[in-house]
Amino acid sequence: VHRITNHAAVAPHDHIFHEVVYVESGTADHNTPIGTDRLRPGDVIVIQPMVWHSYVAPKNLSIINCLIDSRVMRRYWPLLSRVSGAVDLLHVRSKRKAAPTVLHAAPAQQRAIRDRLASVMNELHEQRDGWQAGAVVGVLDVLIMTARIGLGQTRREPAPAVSNRAEQAVLDAVSYIETHLDQQLRLPRIALHVHLSAAHLTRSFTKRMGMGLIAFQHRLRSEEACRLLRTTDMDVTAVAGQLGYGEIAYFSRCFRKHIGVSPRAYRKQHRDGASSIQAPLGSR
């Protein structure tokens, strides 16, 4: 979570994580896949992973940016999904159907969300005992506030329903993939582990997660590669090997597909401070 004052224009870009933006002051044109909105103070923008947006012609624009790692979203999704409006607002859909959602908070809501974001920034800055838990609790509170602001303001297609058994199988598959990032998992193995047919699992997983099982696995591995490239001195070959990629060329192709640049370019951007991809909460 960080504050940006006198925000400059930003070219179209996307992220591998959820983003919640609170507009404190100023204005700007906000370009998205479905058109352009004129931002104003009190607006709250919710941007899903891999959905592009840009800021054009900003004037005295000041925002608070909250970047949330997908692992945090997945871990607490069973609780967040029970909040009215959260599924419509936060559920990851295909890129063709997704676009940032711009909400407008009432004055009391503005004070509440601004104060909560400020408390998260303090936790991250001061890093006192228990700061990680404090930051996560604060971010969950921000997501709940945002969902409540969105009630009555957003009209998005609801997430497709699945049976309880299929829902649990999808969650189990996500956990299994997360704990086996160093292995090239195949669909039959995952289906056997979650006790669901491969065809049923594929349909249910794609409806819930917005992508297929194998694409999801490569995306998680790419996210973990980003963390390793940012926080360690491991060379690219070692990073690929740690994540189960036997061929560096194949790893580079998968990484570029999900992140948009090569692993070496990503590391250079991060170390040069030129990357538009910020380190999200949960990857620390």
Q: Which residue has the higher pLDDT, 1 or 270?
A: 1
| Closest listed residue to residue 84, CA positions, set 19, 161, 21, 145 | 145
d(CA 98, CA 91) in angstroms, rounded, equals 10
- Structure tokens given for 186: 């195949």
Position 280 pLDDT exceeds 90? no
Tell me how far apart the alpha carbons of residues 220 and 247 are, in angstroms, rounded to a whole number.
Answer: 18
pLDDT at 105: 87
Backbone angles phi, psi at 53, to 5 degrees: -155, 170
CB 18 within 8 A of CB 68: yes
Q: pLDDT tens, 131-184?
A: 999 999 999 999 999 999 988 664 433 344 444 678 778 878 887 887 788 888
Q: How confident is the model at residue 92 (pLDDT cuts 50, 70, 90)?
A: low
Alpha carbon 229 to chain centroid distance?
18
Least reliable range by pLDDT among 153-157, 208-212, 274-278: 274-278
Helices (runs of H) and strands (runs of E) counted in the chain: 11, 7
